[in-house]
Amino acid sequence: MNRIRLAHFSITAAFCALLLARAAASWNFATASRVSSMAALQDTGPSQNGDQWLSAEPGYQFLFPRDHAAHEPYKLEWWYYTGNLTTAGGREFGFQLTFFRTGVVYRPANPSRWSIRDLYPAHFAITDVERNQFRYFERMNRGGIGWAGANPGRYRVWNEDWEVTLDGKVHVLSATADDSAISLRLSPEKPEVVHDQNGVSQKAALNGYASHYYSLSRLNATGTIEIDGQTYEVSGLAWMDHEFGSRFLEPDQTGWDWFSIQLDDGTDLMLLQIRRSDGSIDTHSTGTMVSSDGKSTHLSFSQFSLSPRDRWQSPGSGATYPVAWHVEVPDAQLTFDVRPAIPDQELKTTQSTGIVYWEGSTRVTGVSAARHVHGAGYLEMTGYARQDLPDALH
């Protein structure tokens, strides 16, 4: 829902500001929540005073915890948390909490705090596996007046009372919406892993169509989930993605399939498949394998394969999603199947990011070097609904 509030101003001023925010969101915000991992933006030139958004270029040197915080010179940025949690009695939940920052004007000519430099959408979702229920929420706020923001110096990202902060190395998450809430502490079991090569995750052939992208692939999660007025103590594993850049997809790149996988032998994988308008898979598709000791291996387009299996059609959007997949990583002697915890995990975020996408909890079974493995993860799919990836996003 659009939560731009203009207290202490006249009705006319509120209406005008709301129209401005909606227009800015429609023409300048690009995220299909990666909507995990990626988004598509139209090319951005100089702003009114000659300043220009930075492109993600090779050679970037990550430094932590510095790079958990916001990177204001880049036009688009997001912080993505997903995870699978259980109660002591075995009841299963999935969660997603995502914060986005999208630049509107690099340096507004008007010095007022009401000027819109950035907009801050956010998504929050809970999957209740036992009840076969999925609930999600969205927000959109502006920066500059305290309703939402992302600190560039110290890691804190928030949208009203949805928030992520750091307590030492522990990521502290909280979000409440209607009858749903999470309060979680996520402790890294492995160090940050930078995806792709030379500090940059290239999404397309054109220079600058890329992001700086890293993950915390295995976070030990503890805390509470609240649903329908009942609070559950939970624990499990979570995943964190952080990306920032200014240009992403070319016009004929129409969507992507993104996987986070956490296996019970300690192996983690990120796999990203970019689809083209002719049905082919883009060669900039990429992956990363993280071993149990935290060492990472880059996977190029040719080193893994993703084959869709079962499909599910949304009764709401009409989109058909391949919710089950067969995955092979031959060099690692790894093959497994990914299935959804429940089929309906579609988000229709038309009041914030303006897109429809599927993102949800998954279960994994397979074989690694002749040993049976199991696991869980998250899957994100964009470009399957007609509302996804409008022309302005390219």
Give Cα separations from 243 to 93, 218, 381 (angstroms): 25, 17, 17
CB 27 within 8 A of CB 119: no
What is the pTM for the complete model shown?
0.87
User: Is residue 200 helix, strand or coil?
Assistant: strand
For a pLDDT cut of 70, what percent of the chain falls above it? Answer: 85
Backbone angles phi, psi at 99, to 5 degrees: -115, 135
How is residue 72 written in tokens? 């204001």
Q: Residue 28: which pLDDT band, with cuts at 50, 70 and 90?
A: very low
Average pLDDT over residues 215-228: 97
Q: How far is CA 127 from each of CA 43, 68, 93, 120, 320, rounded to the nearest angstrom?
A: 36, 26, 5, 24, 20
Q: Let me know how long the chain is.
A: 394
Instruction: Please tell me the predicted confidence (pLDDT) of residue 31.
Output: 38
Residue 285 contacts residue 295 (beta carbons within 8 Å)? no
So what's the pLDDT on residue 351? 85
| Percentage of the residues of the chain whose pLDDT score is greater than 90 | 73
Query: Does residue 113 have a pLDDT over 60?
Result: yes
Q: Find where tokens 């949805």 sit.
A: 162
CB 100 within 8 A of CB 162: no
Q: In this predicted structure, which of 54-58, 109-113, 238-242 has the lowest mean pLDDT?
A: 109-113
68: helix, coil or strand?
Answer: helix
Q: Which of 67, 297, 49, 276 is nearest to 166 (CA)?
A: 67
Cα dist from 146 to 15, 118, 174, 208, whole Å:
20, 12, 17, 32
Distance, CA of 101 to CA of 113 (rounded, Å): 17
Tokens at 352, concatenated? 């914030």
Q: 367, 373 in Cβ contact below 8 A?
A: yes
Phi, psi of 283 (to 5 degrees): -70, -10
The DSSP annotation for 209-251 comes to BEEEEEEEEEEEEEEEEEETTEEEEEEEEEEEEEEEEEE---T
Residue owning tokens 């492109």: 55
Alpha helices (runs of H) in the chain, residue ranges in sequence order: 11-28
Question: Running DSSP on this structure, what letter comes out for residue 281?
Answer: B
Question: What's the chain's Rg over C-alpha atoms?
Answer: 20
Q: Alpha-carbon distance 106 to 3, whole Å? A: 23
User: What mean pLDDT is predicted for residues 109-134?
Assistant: 91
pLDDT value of residue 310 = 96
- When pLDDT is cut at 50, 70 and 90, the band that residue 36 belongs to is very low
State the Cα–Cα distance between residues 119 and 148, nearest whole angstrom. Answer: 8
Residue 271: both structure tokens together: 């796999």
Q: Answer yes or no: is pLDDT of 300 > 70.
A: yes
Domains defined for the chain, CATH in brackets: 11-393 (2.40.370.10)
57's CB contacts (< 8 A; 6+ apart) are 200, 208, 210
Give residue 249's pLDDT.
85
Residue 149 one-letter amino acid? G
Q: What is the mean pLDDT of residues 169-178?
A: 97
Q: How deeply is 295 buried, as exposed, middle or buried, from its count of CB atoms within 10 A (0-12, 13-18, 19+)?
A: exposed
What is the dihedral angle through the alpha carbons of 368, 302, 275, 378, rounded to the nearest 10 degrees?
20
The span from the CA of 288 to the CA of 281, in Å, is 17
Q: Using pLDDT thresholds of 50, 70 and 90, give the confidence band for residue 61.
A: very high
pLDDT score for 51:
65
First to last CA, the chain: 24
- Comparing 352 with 257, the larger pLDDT belongs to 257
Average pLDDT over residues 279-303: 96
- In the predicted model, is pLDDT for residue 374 greater than 70? yes
pLDDT at 387: 54
Average pLDDT, the chain: 86
| pLDDT at res. 27 | 36
CB atoms within 10 A of CB 43: 10
Residue 123, pLDDT above cutoff 80: yes
Q: Give tens-digit pLDDT for 244-290.
A: 999 888 888 889 999 999 999 999 999 999 999 899 999 999 999 99
